[in-house]
A and B are shown apart, each in its own frame.
Chain A
Amino acid sequence: MKKRPSIKKRRTKNDVNSGISSVDQSNHESVECISSSLSMNIESIKKRTGHSPDIKFRKVDIGKNSGMKSVIVYVQGLVDEITVTDFIIESIMNSPRFSSEIMPQEAIGIISEEVVSMGGITTEEKWDSLYLSLLSGDTVIFVEGSNVALIASTQGGETRSIQESTTNTVVRGPKEGFTESITTNIAMVRRIINNPDLWVESMKIGSVTNTDVSIMYINGIAEKKIVGEIRSRLKKINIDSVLESGYIEQLIEDGTMTPFPTLHNTERPDVVAGTLLEGSIAIFVDGTPFVLLGPALFIQFFQSPEDYYNRFFIASATRFLRIFVFIISLIGPALYVAVTTFDQSMIPTQLLIMIAAQRESVPFPAIVEALIMEVMFEILREAGLRMPKAIGSTISIVGALVIGQAAVQAGIVSPAMVIIVSITAIASFATPSYSMAISARLLRFVFMISAATFGTYGIIMVFILVLVHLCSLRSFGVPYMSPLAPLIPSEVGDTVVRRPLSGRKARPKLTTADNKIREGEHQKPQAAKDTGMVNAFYQKRGKRGSK
């Protein structure tokens, strides 16, 4: 609880230091509104933006012979330049609608209503919002003599196209993943949920970056109180910048003192859609393909979209496997340490002898050996992430040789330990959610140390502590471990196992509002009673047979 204000304080200090806000302040007070003089407006923008060359000013005469002048301002790269030339500059220049009698104020109206054939066009008098629009890719049109500016939405420019998501890949299911553009991302979800009840609210967060943040929910399904809570938490954020949704996540989560993520994130529109249908709220942040989903439950981090696309036997089996594997990645090395140093009587004799023979020449106690190997693996993993791709293979060869071969041959570690560390490493990648996998990575060391001090008893102790901690967590007021704790029997069917879709009658109770029914009655598939669907020959034979 103490952490948050201190962060805020530091951020505001940065603001002052950078000098941005001081300029901001002076401008605010002196000229708040647009002047009617073109040159003054141009000058004002140039001064405010520090003569940045990517802000383009295009002087255009209105009509062929009206004698009125206008300036079109846009930021190069943020706008779709073809739209600006074709639909704004050209139509204003060539419009026959203007004559010398027309007053500047009228001209504004004519341009927006009759000349520019574009979708979004609004008027603006205040500098503040004008800058926001300009810098987010809109085009501003000033007319000589008018203190109102037109803003045409021309957002465009280069963005990454929709590609397959890299973090949540599936075999079956849609392949597309979110991009860095918030409008594209929102549209991708809209394309899946074709319903007017899909509501989006927008806001700008970050006193310097002015990042677009949107929340999306399904009206009637999402619990109003939770929506309100998320909205107010977002509004409370006062920070200079939002560079990724992680910023938002860390500022709105229920508590910071936990290794477990209390907000889900995904790169996949189908996951967002599926979670929205269970009453969650999605938070989109411009500039990142990772969309936040809250309230998040512990079990959600083990759900893969594929669970719902595959038939339930397979889905249940893989779900079960994932939870089992998560436990391995948590306590794998710890169990090895505990069993070999405390509870040797738990191992079958033959196995004990094998392990003992391998450890005969290892100079370290089991825990030190385990820590060496785990740290070594963490180093390799971190290095593998950071290094340039071109030398990746070098590192992996060196790593494999150092960890796998040389360390064993040098007698520094035992082969059994290598097996344990590798299975743990592989296990940690089987968790669908990266943020849950890395929390297991951290807790693993806690388990190892307690195992080295108290043996299996220590593992159980820490396990209980972690369980108690998990049960105490809340995500936007919703118990983190629900529907297991508190137990909601009707929803347990989508936790460790996933029951058939035909049995999924209602939405989760804790997170949904009025609209709770998911499916109608009699959804269980049934075999056809008559054979009318098969071909006539078979039918005839069947009839004769029955006689």
Chain B
Amino acid sequence: MNRTIFFLIVIGTILLSGCWNKRELTDIAVVSALAIDKNEEGKYVGTFQVINAGNIASGEQGGGGENAPIRVFSATGESLIQMSRNAAAKMPRQLFYEHVKLLVISEELAKNEGINTIFDSLDRSPNFRITTRVVLARDTEAANVVKVLTAIEKLPSEGIIKTLKSAETMQGETVTVDIHAIMNALRSPGKEPVISAFTLKGDEKSGERIQSIQSTTLDANLQAKGIGVFKEGKLIDWLEDDAASGTVWALNKIQRTVMTLDWENEIDAVALEVIRQNTGVTIEMISGKPKISIEIRAEGDIREVKNQLDLSHPNILMNIEKKLGKKLKTEIEDAILRAQENKSDIFGFGEMVYQDYPEEWKKIKADWQDVHFPELKVDVKTDIFVRQTGLRNKPYFSDFE
């Protein structure tokens, strides 16, 4: 008898309890990107890029391509959570943050207020994934970055992330960072975060229209542009070109990049495609002061030669290797110098000191960024190795004379 009653109670709780946390797919609005600006009143302006599922997947229902794949709307609030509540009032469906791929922070916000408060909110939220990628909006409002439609990738947020990734691997002047990495850097006294930036080229208004991606050239185009350097949660500097590239080298995040070399009055005469590289950082303590040595070993193929170089000659190859090494060395040293001037240890040297010499670190921890890091001695060694010269040795035009 007792068992029957127990059984009924169990059945009852299962059948009568209703559906906890149940959300049908037709009840949620999947947010794919979120942009955060600040308006004149000092309120946060959130711009939500919501996926219009019916217009993305061209399934049985047809559609697909006729309407915009995303719907963008914005809401303001004193805090992020307030902003999210206000946004809910504008949507027929529940906002769903688990699939946010991209977080865009405006340059103004990052410069003036810093990103600490934003990241506290994101860190607390059970909905936000810490793998969400973060970019800065440069020379434009963050909202514009999420409003623009991209070609090829139907989902603009996906497009931005893929652009960022391909720029990182093929160009080596951007870094892909997610909330997790930024949180780690913000928390640690021995490291400061870097965030890549995107800018909008062209007419931002027409970029929002579906017509803009129906032509072969885009009216508005998003483009990766530089790396933002932070100090104490505030944006203080932009790194571009060689400075950016040197930073990415020192961060050991280079995957496949191209290094060029001037040769006998010809600019960028030799191009080397780096296929693998390794950056090793070692720390020594010399009379209580850390000394960093960076050792880079890179390996690559020569992919372009403008001069009549006989690459079958080992001396020439060794010469190229040496010169490339020297060039890389100055590039990295400049990048480190720039960071030291900024008093922002974006390379995480402090963290390495902490790991290797925890006792000494305690003493220098407090004023690492302002006193010790700028005075840090960094020794850079490079070793470039040419693995192949492509499919030929001499350029084919060397026989023409």
Contact = CB atoms under 8 A, between A and B. Distances in A.
Given A349-B101, A415-B59, A453 B24 contact: no
A349 B32 contact: yes
A358 B17 contact: no
Interface of A: 340-342, 344-345, 349-350, 352-362, 365-366, 408-409, 415, 450, 452-455
B59 A452 contact: no
Q: 5 smallest A-B Cβ distances: which pairs? A: A345-B98, A357-B57, A356-B53, A357-B53, A356-B25
Given A344-B96, A366-B24, A356 B60 contact: no
A380 B205 CA distance: 55
9 contacts: A344-B99, A349-B158, A356-B57, A357-B61, A359-B24, A360-B26, A360-B54, A408-B60, A453-B17
Contacts of B21: 342, 455
Nearest to A348: B99
Contacts of B23: 341-342, 344
Given A366-B24, A415-B59, A450-B14, A360 B99 contact: no
B386 interface: no
Contacts of B24: 340-341, 359, 365-366
Interface string B113-134: 0000000000000000100000
Contacts of A453: 14-15, 17, 19-20
Contacts of A358: 57, 59-61
Interface in B118-166: 129, 155, 158
A208 to B, nearest CB: 37
Nearest to B57: A357
Contacts of B20: 453-455
Given A341-B19, A356-B28, A455-B22, 12 more contacts: A341-B25, A344-B98, A345-B99, A349-B32, A349-B101, A352-B30, A353-B56, A354-B57, A356-B25, A357-B53, A357-B59, A408-B60
A366 B155 CA distance: 25
B53 to A, nearest CB: 4
A128 to B, nearest CB: 47
B64 to A, nearest CB: 8
B51 interface: yes
Interface in B89-124: 96, 98-99, 101
Contacts of B54: 357, 360
Interface string B14-50: 1101011111111010101000000000000000000
A391 to B, nearest CB: 30
Contacts of A349: 30, 32, 99, 101, 155, 158
Interface in B298-356: none
Contacts of B96: 344
Interface in B187-201: none
B62 to A, nearest CB: 11
B250 to A, nearest CB: 33
B364 to A, nearest CB: 42
A359 B55 CA distance: 13
Nearest to B63: A357
A420 to B, nearest CB: 14
Contacts of A345: 98-99, 129
Contacts of A359: 24-26
B89 to A, nearest CB: 22
A409 B14 contact: no
Most buried by B among A349, A354, A450: A349
A353 B98 contact: no
A387 B158 CA distance: 52
Contacts of A415: 59-60
A408 B26 CA distance: 17
